[in-house]
Amino acid sequence: MVDTNERTVLRGLARQVDELGHLPVMERRRELWRAHNDLERVRPLIAVFPEGSWNELLPEESLVCKNEEARSIERDLRSRLYYHTGICDDAVIERTFKVRKLIDGLPGGTIDLWVDWGVPLRRTESSASKGAYSFDPVIHTMEDVKKIRTPVLRYREKETLEQLERMQDLLGDILDVRLCGVDYVAFHIMYYYTHMRGLEQMLYDLYDEPELFHAIVDRLEQGYHSIVDQCEELGLFERNDNGTYQSTGGFGYTSTLIPPDFDPAHVRPSDLWACAEAQEMAPVSPDQTEEFCMQAERRLLRRFGRNGYACCEPVQDKLPYIRQIHALRRISVSPFADIEACARQLKDEYIFSWKCSPFLVCGPVFDEDEIRAYFRKYLPVLKEHGCHVEMILADTHTCHGEPERFLRWTALAREAIAEVYGCKAD
């Protein structure tokens, strides 16, 4: 339980968030993202996601609260405040405080990396801090595929409403405390496949066990379809044409997703953004990626109103297949991709979600001239091809104890946008 002192701290932070949320710049940013997602012509937008560096920007020892629930809330509120002073990208600081519906079968309350498929996803962790883990396969034979079970979702309404009541009492007179259902939908077929079979084994399976490969993917696809059906039937979906994080970078603001017949009491898949990715298939040919994975992903995404695709995998050679995705809007172009080849193919038809190299921020040396040269190399190419650009900084696992790197990176990005596009980027 949140004690009296923690309550005072959290309410003070909430008031600061409330003040920021009412600033005129937040509405201007909202409109920029809306226009950007609607494929109207605006300057490149900047979105920074510190991810692994948050423990350097907001160290655990800097938190005042002691109770774990209170610390979680404090971390959320302080991160919003940090965006305004320590990052200064184009993110909108919203006044909404979400209380997620508690859903058995979806431990995170979203369709993402925490789906319970009925089999343990075992792995061996690295001894190094933030090191890579290795897979410990659990599916070995065709008979084992039967172990993969679709979760039966159950909304724990009583517990959820109790939590909502507590948060409304704590913050409801300051922030917009809101009950939130499933507002993020991401299909990670290959993530689960490699956890169940192993990454190297997945590559062998393409040739040695194609029937097993298809059987596992089919099982996961049908399971995902069932999860979507259950979410709709149970009324768990939440509209996400707002500041909700979408795909693997960017936000959901748009004016063209919600149809005239929209019923807020019954949000359908067709009213939502969704996404998929297949990073583990990066070394696999376009044709095999299409045969073994992407067809299933397209069938899943066909149910949704706006879609994004890809994460860290290079996409230039797979774009002919990717572009067949229904209602495709946002495509991730990673540091491993051929930027010019992607720009030439995507042009002004999609959002070019440019995942800028995180190494320039999380490498041992922060070199501003190198960052300027990087932006000057690629931004003119994107402008030449008419791309709708968002500059995403993510996967920054460390900033080497120099949090100011994020603020400087954003300033350099704005400087480059002004230089290349001839417009203010503030």
> What domains, with CATH codes, occur in the chain?
4-421 (3.20.20.210)
What does the angle CA 269 – CA 186 – CA 305 come to, to the nearest 5 degrees?
A: 30
Q: What would the two tokens of residue 318 be?
A: 């797979």
Rounded to whole angstroms, how far apart are CA atoms 281 and 270? 27
| pTM across the whole model | 0.97
For the chain, the distance separating the N- and C-terminal CA atoms, rounded to the nearest angstrom, is 41
Mean pLDDT on 60-68: 97
Distance CA 262, CA 243 (A): 19
pLDDT in tens, 245-268: 999 999 999 999 999 889 999 999
> Is residue 426 scored above 80 in pLDDT?
no
Task: List, for residues 123-155, the tens digit of each pLDDT value.
Answer: 888 888 878 888 999 999 999 999 999 999 999
263-298: pLDDT as tens digits: 999 999 999 999 999 999 999 999 999 999 999 999
Q: What is the pLDDT of residues 369-392, one digit of tens each?
A: 999 999 999 999 999 999 999 999
| Mean of all residue pLDDT scores within the chain | 97
Query: How many Å is the maximal CA-CA distance in the chain?
Result: 62
Q: How high is the pLDDT of residue 181? A: 98
Residue 128 is predicted with a pLDDT of 83
pLDDT, position 193: 98
Instruction: Please determine, for residue 395, whether its predicted confidence score (pLDDT) is greater than 80.
Output: yes
